[in-house]
């Protein structure tokens, strides 16, 4: 029964975890429409445009700092400072700013107040995501979204929250505030044109997928994952098809944000696979224990059957003891039950009963009675010891 209860508890936990990946708004971008913007900063800035795809947006000016987010090519940023080859940018209004509902009390549908001290604001709806910054009690947040379980709120970032991007991947519209304009790079000297190599024949890439194909694939993957995690036993989850669909979207989709979303779901899919592996292990232990209990029950039944058969093979069984009243119908010994009462008196003309005193025995013979003796008498013809001294 305890194993069954633990399995249901595991299922409840795994379904709660499953709700996160299916409903969290995932396509973060800098300053997209439809989101509540972060509070306006007073710092001067210059606009920049990302020239690479999946550019790392980091916690600090260096590759040793954790990555908040991978920004797509063409995303616009507000650059407020520079440190060497790193640019400091305003934190994206639609960035990963999540806080546990345990530490945020809602004032209304759009506002919440922090109820704990040194509360972490994280890059995703879960304690496994990186810490962005910490806030004190009574800090007010603008609530942007809520995950399906209600355990996490996505909030507008702090007004002074910033992130860092390598300068090589940003095209600036002007000088960074507080720095001198960069000197123009000298134009390269003209060189003789190099004869172009003959072009290889183009390979047939096949017919491109129709519009909306990868969006449909993503929706199909989400629905397939939802159908799997709704199964009562996580050991029965089949996640391979979901992984294959997400892998196709992550590798081939033209939409950068769709690729980012697929990449995030692939990362969280590992959590579901861990839950499945744990459920399989628990099921295996459960099965082994059930088999062991079944074997023990069979052994008990076998021993019980053997005892019953052993008892049935004799006229009577009990502890054989000396009978000290001489001359009473010629009885020399008695059979005593487990409660100490005398079940039979014993006498024998064919064998000596004394060697079996103090032992549980089975006796064969013929039952007789004597005048004035209430207990029946067995004329013993054979004795077998069933157990040692008691």
Residue 193, domain member (yes or no): no
Is there a single domain that holds both residue 349 and residue 228? no
Q: Which of 152, 172, 192 is the last residue of a domain?
A: 172
Domain region containing 252: 1-23+215-312
Same domain, 234 and 373: no
Q: Are 152 and 228 members of one domain? A: no
3-state secondary structure at position 342: strand
Q: What is the pLDDT of residue 71?
A: 82
State whether the Cα torsion 25-31-32-36 is positive or negative: positive
Choose between 157 and 321: higher pLDDT.
321
Q: What is the mean pLDDT of residues 98-103?
A: 91
Is 28 in the same domain as 167?
Answer: yes
Flag whether 328 is in a domain.
yes
Confidence class for position 366, pLDDT limits 50, 70, 90: very high
Task: Compute the average pLDDT of residues 328-333.
Answer: 91
Mean pLDDT calculated for residue range 371-376? 88
The answer, yes or no, to whether residue 130 has pLDDT greater than 70, is yes
Q: Are residues 320 and 305 in the same domain?
A: no
Q: Looking at the domain assignment, is residue 343 inside a domain? A: yes
How far apart CA 286 and CA 292 sit, in angstroms, is: 10
- 32 and 164, same structural domain? yes
* Domain shared by 164 and 287, yes or no: no
Q: What is the pLDDT of residues 135-148, one digit of tens each?
A: 899 999 888 888 87
Sequence-ordered list of residues with C-beta below 8 angstroms from that of 306, at least 6 positions apart, any chain: none
Q: Is residue 4 included in any domain, yes or no?
A: yes
- The Cα 340–Cα 343 span in angstroms is 9
Please indicate, yes or no, whether residues 305 and 359 belong to a single structural domain of this protein: no
Q: How far apart are the first and last CA of the chain?
A: 38
Look up residue 203 and give its DSSP letter: P
Strands 119-122 and 111-114: unpaired
Q: Per-residue DSSP letters for 24-85?
A: S-----TT-TTSPPPPPP-S--EEEEE-SSSEEEESSSSTTSPEEEEEPTT-EEEEEEEETT
- Condensed to tens digits (0 to 9), the pLDDT of residues 3-57 reads 333 443 344 344 334 333 333 333 333 443 333 444 444 689 999 999 988 888 8
Final residue of a structural domain among 138, 172, 206: 172
* Residue at 203 is within a domain: no
Query: Is residue 13 in a domain?
Result: yes
Mean pLDDT of the chain: 79
pLDDT tens per residue across span 233-250? 888 888 888 888 899 888
Q: Residues 28, 163: one domain?
A: yes
Report DSSP letters for 149-165, one per residue: TSSEEEEPPPTT-EEEE
pLDDT at 185: 52
Helices (H) and strands (E) in the chain, counts: 4, 19
pLDDT at position 371:
87
196 within domain boundaries:
no
Provide the pLDDT for residue 350: 94
Question: Quick check: 305 pLDDT over 90?
Answer: no
Any domain includes 191 = no
Q: How confident is the model at residue 124 (pLDDT cuts 50, 70, 90)?
A: confident
Same domain, 329 and 280: no
From residue 227, how far is each of 232, 239, 250, 302, 388 by CA, in Å? 11, 10, 21, 47, 64
What is the three-class DSSP state of 316?
A: strand
Query: What's the pLDDT score for residue 375?
Result: 92
Q: Which residues contact 389 (CB under 8 A, 6 or more apart)?
A: 358, 359
Q: Tell whether 289 and 331 lie within a shared domain.
A: no
Q: How far is CA 345 from the centre of its chain?
A: 70
Identify the band that residue 321 occupies on the pLDDT scale cut at 50, 70 and 90.
very high
For the chain, what percent of residues have pLDDT higher than 70?
78
Residues 13 and 68 in one domain: no
Number of structural domains in the chain: 3
pLDDT value, residue 193: 57
For 317-338, give the DSSP string. Answer: EEEEEE---TTSTT--EEEE-T
pLDDT tier at 2 (50, 70, 90 boundaries)? very low
**Residue that terminates a domain, selected from 119, 153, 172:** 172
Helix, strand, coil % over all residues of the chain, rounded to 5: 30, 25, 40
78 versus 11: which is more confidently predicted?
78
Closest CA to 43 of 127, 159, 130, 143: 159
pTM (2 decimals)? 0.35
Residue recorded with tokens 């000088």: 175
pLDDT band per the 50, 70, 90 thresholds, residue 190: low
Q: Is the pLDDT of residue 377 over 90?
A: yes
pLDDT for residue 349: 93
Per-residue pLDDT of 87-97, as tens digits, reads: 998 876 555 68
């Amino acid at each position: 029964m305890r194993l069954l209860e633990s399995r249901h508890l595991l299922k409840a936990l795994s379904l709660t975890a499953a709700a996160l990946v299916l409903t969290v708004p995932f396509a973060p971008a800098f300053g997209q429409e439809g989101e509540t913007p972060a509070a306006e900063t007073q710092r001067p800035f210059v606009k920049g445009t990302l020239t690479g795809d999946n550019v790392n947006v980091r916690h600090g000016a260096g590759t040793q700092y954790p990555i908040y987010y991978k920004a797509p090519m063409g995303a616009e940023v507000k650059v407020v400072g520079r440190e060497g080859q790193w640019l400091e940018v305003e934190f994206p209004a639609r960035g990963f700013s999540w806080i546990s509902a345990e530490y945020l009390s809602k004032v209304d549908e759009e506002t919440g107040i922090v109820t704990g001290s040194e509360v972490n604001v994280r890059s995703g709806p879960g304690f496994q995501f990186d810490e962005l910054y910490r806030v004190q009690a009574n800090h007010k947040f603008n609530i942007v979204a809520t995950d399906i379980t209600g355990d996490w709120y996505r909030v507008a970032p702090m007004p002074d929250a910033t992130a860092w991007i390598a300068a090589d991947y940003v095209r600036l519209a002007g000088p960074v505030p507080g720095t001198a304009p960069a000197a123009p790079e000298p134009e390269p000297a003209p060189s003789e044109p190099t004869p172009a190599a003959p072009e290889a024949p183009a390979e047939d890439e096949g017919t491109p997928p129709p519009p909306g194909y990868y969006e449909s694939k993503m929706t199909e993957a989400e629905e397939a994952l939802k159908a799997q995690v709704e199964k009562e036993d996580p050991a029965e989850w089949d996640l391979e098809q979901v992984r294959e669909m997400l892998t196709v979207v992550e590798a081939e989709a033209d939409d950068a944000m769709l690729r980012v979303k697929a990449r995030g779901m692939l990362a969280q899919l590992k959590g579901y696979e861990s839950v499945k592996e744990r459920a399989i292990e628990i099921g295996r232990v459960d099965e082994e224990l059930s088999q062991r209990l079944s074997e023990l029950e069979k052994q008990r039944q076998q021993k019980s059957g053997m005892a019953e058969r052993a008892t049935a093979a004799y006229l009577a069984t009990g502890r054989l003891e000396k009978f000290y009243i001489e001359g009473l119908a010629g009885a020399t010994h008695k059979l005593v039950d487990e409660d100490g009462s005398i079940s039979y008196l014993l006498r024998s003309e064919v064998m000596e009963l004394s060697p079996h005193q103090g032992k549980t025995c089975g006796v064969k013979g013929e039952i007789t009675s004597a005048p004035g003796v209430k207990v029946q008498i067995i004329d013993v013809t054979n004795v077998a010891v069933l157990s040692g001294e008691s």
